[in-house]
Structure 1
Amino acid sequence: MLHTTTDWLNILKPNFKVLSWTERLRCGLGALLGLALSSLISFWILGDLNTWYIAPMGASSVLLFAVPASPLSQPWNVVLGNTIAAFIGVSCYHFIPNLTVAFSVAVALAIVLMLSTDSLHPPSGAVAITAVLGGESIHQLGYQFLFSPVLLNSVLLLLIAMLYHRICGKPYPQRAQINTRTTDPTPTQKVSIQPQDIQDVLEQQTQLLDISEYDLQQLIMQAQEKAQARAIQTYTCQDIMSRDVIRLNAQDDILVALDKFKNMNLMSLPVVDDHNTLVGTLALYEVVEWFKGATDMRNSWQHQVKDIMVRQVVTVKPMQPIQDLIPYFVERSFNYIPVVDQQTLVGMISRADMIAVLNQQLMQHADSAK
């Protein structure tokens, strides 16, 4: 259950990788140079034309310089997406008298056509609206709006982005295949997850993912390398434990604990004090027993977690080998074991964690025996 404003805000934040300050400044500098140079060149080519540059190019620059790996930022998307949106926007202005209806239909049709041509580019929605609401100077251009300024601005900004990323040593545009020599999977992919496997999974997705298949291949291969490097070592508790542990405070009201059990669908939770020192555990059945005796006057003083928790707790240390845990899960039917470092709770290992790692070791043993 969420208790703080920070918890509420965290669920609203995207799960983005936070770039270093150097990378952030590089992205900003790229947008600065891209917009400045492309607008100056456009002004030089178009001369006194009032519409020598359009605002949606600012949104395109965010994608081109901040997230160039996105499928939405590729050259095909920038050029074709903006051109399609401009054509639809001009057409809707000419054939639909009501401006609100015109730009709404324009954006909707542009989305459908961009998705149908694999050219989705979010700033193109603003291009369509600009074609309808851009004013008399835009309307006088008619379908010339497609070529100048839309196509001219798009191509110039794109060329500058390609040059800038090349100077910075960044790959742009994205390659379609990791194996540049052939369309076959790489040797590592042949014995693990292959590109076709990724394609099959993506085809089952009902939502558009803002990550390219190429990037997925790279991430999976890098993750496999790390997993294989770890597999040759003896697993310790810190290797498989969950670090973001749902916990109770000894001072919590028992009803608060019940809400956590209900919301998290857990059977047992560790209990800590204000210094995150492990002081006990509380199981759901113990809360149920407390409810059964709630009407008993002898139990009227029990209203905090510390009053009904179990203080004797079996714990393990981060560097302890996981083989030490097997008797607890097998012989004593434990569901969870807390991991502590100098009495401080640092993680939790579940029966599912153990099953997963033991299954992995069995598979590796079977592979090596072939």
Structure 2
Amino acid sequence: MFHPQSEWLEILKPNFKLLPLKERLLCGLGALLGLSLSSLISLWILGDINAWYIAPMGASSVLLFAVPASPLAQPWNMVIGNTIAGIIGVTCALYIPNLTEAFSVAVALSIILMMSTDSLHPPSGAVAITAVLGGEAVSELGYLFIFYPVLLNSLLLLLVAMMFNRLTGKQYPHKAQLNLRSQDPTPTQKVTIQPQDIHHVLEHQTELLDISEYDLQKIILEAQYQANARMQDENVQEWRCEDIMTHDVITLQQDDDIQLALDKFKQVNLMSLPVVNAEQQLVGTLALYEVVEWFKHATDVRMSWQHQVKHIMNRKVVTVKPHQSIADLVPYFVERSFNYIPVVEQQQLVGIISRADMIAAMNQRLIWLRSKTTES
């Protein structure tokens, strides 16, 4: 049986994912610890707790512990947003006698300046109001109110949030970049929805979105339309090396010490890296196993002079050009098990194509072929 009232309730409810009970309890525990510890540390440092300031910190704790991935919950937003609101709130309290006018103007100006500095933090609105309505206690502090309790409590709560979220397996502060090895898009992004496609859609949004699951699905769907139009122009059948290569290449310098090279291998977790000279010209490649072999003979007096990358690197390197078809690369990845192939133009290393890039491109080629078969 259809119930009209239930439909209205669904319209009014937000489209947020309901977390499991364990996660909800952890969010509450985080807020409990954050507020308790920051208040107790304030008491220990300064000898008192301003109870009227719990409201803004309580609002911040909702963001920091319940939705730490939100753009509004990031450290920049909390520290800068609260500082801006504190300055404006104190100024309005000092120069606007009417309290209603003072806190209204304070919140309005805080919103404008926070949005202008990309530091929007909703609890900062409460900071601005607290600065106006805090009474004699805030008046006596004046602009010191910005340092205590605003900045002190903000930093303390932020520190607890960082530690608690890390301990519970959540990434905070939130990293926006998906590809941790390079500034380039991930292999999948290169052949489907790229960051610029999502940016194109966001440019046409007139609202500031604190992303929910529904908002994200809508943006991705519209970005897919944009990506499809781009792919039709590029023609998937004629992809060239420059279309899928990574521009931000991790390299070794030929004069690097081998110990330094080993540290870089550990850092990036790769089995082989290209080697360049001071002019960024490709001069060889170095595999991790070659470094391991060198360490096996490091005590040999005859090998003591060989301590730089150029002494043990492989100088015979298979390369491709940017305008070359990716079809030319298939034999190297399939028959010779290459992990990557450098892309060179006028002796300069301009990019690199990995096996993952090729797999993503071939997968997209299969999707394209299926769509053409369906259309026919």
Shorter-chain TM-score range: 0.5 to 0.7
Match of 2:82 in 1: 82
Q: 1:366 to 1:158 in 2, by over 3 A?
A: same
Superposition deviation, residue 180 in structure 1: 1.1
Q: CA deviation at 1:64?
A: 0.3
Provide, for residues 134-165 of structure 1, a one-character-per-residue CA deviation record: whole Å limited to 9, x for no partner.
Answer: 11111110000000000000000001000001
Q: Distance in 1 between matches of 2:151 and 2:98?
A: 27
TM-aligned CA distance change 1:52 to 1:100, over 3 Å: closer
Distance 2:31 2:107 in 1: 25
Q: Deviations over 1:50-88 (max 9, x none)?
A: 569542100000000001111000000011101100100
Q: Shift in Å at residue 216 of structure 1?
A: 5.3
Alpha-carbon separation, structure 1, partners of 2:39 and 2:145: 16
Residues 3 and 92 of structure 1: is their aligned pair in 2 closer, same or farther, counting only changes over 3 Å? same
Cα offset for 1:365? Answer: 4.8
2:16 is equivalent to residue 10 of structure 1: no
- Give the Cα separation in 1 of the matches to 2:159 and 2:32: 14
Contact 1:68 1:74 survives alignment (8 Å): yes
Q: Is the 8 A contact 1:31 1:65 kept in 2?
A: yes
Partner of 1:133: 133
Aligned pair 1:364/2:364, yes or no? no
Distance 2:22 2:175 in 1: 25
Structure 1: give runs of 5+ residues left out of the alignment. 225-359
* Partner AA of 2:122 in structure 1: P
Say whether the 8 Å CA contact 2:39–2:49 is kept in structure 1.
Answer: no
Instruction: Indicate if the aligned counterparts of 2:92 and 2:102 stay in contact, CA closer than 8 A.
Output: yes
Q: Deviations over 1:168-223 (max 9, x none)?
A: 111111112101111111110010000111111111110001029xx959x969xx
Structure-2 separation of matches of 1:174 and 1:49? 30
Where does residue 341 of structure 2 map in the other structure?
Answer: none
Aligned residue number for residue 27 of structure 1: 27
Secondary structure of the equivalent of 2:12?
Answer: coil
Q: Does the Cα contact within 8 Å between 1:42 and 1:52 map onto a contact in 2?
A: no
Answer with 145-154 or 7-16: which moved more: 7-16
Distance 1:129 1:184, change over 3 A: same
Matches within 5 A, 1:1-370: 3-48=3-48, 50=50, 53-211=53-211, 364-366=370-372
Alpha-carbon offset, residue 106 of structure 1: 0.2
**Counterpart amino acid of residue 188 in structure 1:** T
- Give the TM-score normalised by the residue count of structure 1: 0.58
Q: Secondary structure of 2:175's match? A: coil
SS of aligned partner of 1:175: coil
Contact 2:89-2:131 within 8 A present in 1 as well: yes
Instruction: Check whether the contact 1:54–1:150 (CA below 8 A) recurs between aligned residues.
Output: no
What's the C-alpha RMSD, in Å, of the aligned pairs? Answer: 2.8
The one-letter amino acid of 1:364's match is R
Q: CA deviation at 1:45?
A: 1.0
Q: Which amino acid aligns with 1:19?
A: L
Relative to structure 1, is the Cα distance of residues 180 and 216 closer, same or farther in structure 2, using a 3 angstrom cutoff? farther
CA distance in 2, matches of 1:188, 1:367: 23
Distance 1:196 1:367 in 2: 29
Report the 3-state secondary structure (helix = DSSP H, G, I; strand = E; otherwise coil) of the residue aligned with 2:153.
Answer: helix
Find the aligned partners of 1:123 and 1:109 in 2 and give their Cα distance: 14
Moved over 4 A (4+): 49-53, 360-363
The one-letter code of the counterpart of 2:127 is: V
Aligned length: 228
Aligned 8 A contact 1:84 1:113 in 2 = yes
| d(CA) in 2 for partners of 1:45, 1:155 | 14
Distance 1:50 1:161, change over 3 A: closer
Q: Extract unaligned runs of 5+ from structure 2.
A: 225-365
Which residue number in structure 2 is paired with residue 313 of structure 1? none
Query: Identity over aligned residues, as a percent?
Result: 71
Task: Give 1:100 deviation, angstroms.
Answer: 0.4
Is the 1:88–1:110 contact (alpha carbons within 8 Å) kept by the matching residues of 2?
Answer: yes
Correspondence for 1:303: none
Separation in structure 2 between the aligned mates of residue 220 and residue 34 of structure 1, nearest angstrom: 35
Partner of 2:349: none
> Residues of 2 paired with 1:128 and 1:85: CA distance?
5
Q: Tell me: CA distance 1:50–1:120, structure 2 relative to 1, closer, same or farther (3 Å).
A: closer
**Are 1:52 and 1:149, in contact at CA under 8 Å, matched by a contact in 2?**
no
Instruction: Name the SS for the 1:172 alignment partner.
Output: coil
- Judged with a 3 Å threshold, the aligned counterparts in structure 2 of structure 1 residues 11 and 3 are, in CA distance, closer, same or farther, namely same
CA contact 1:103–1:132 (8 Å) conserved in 2: yes
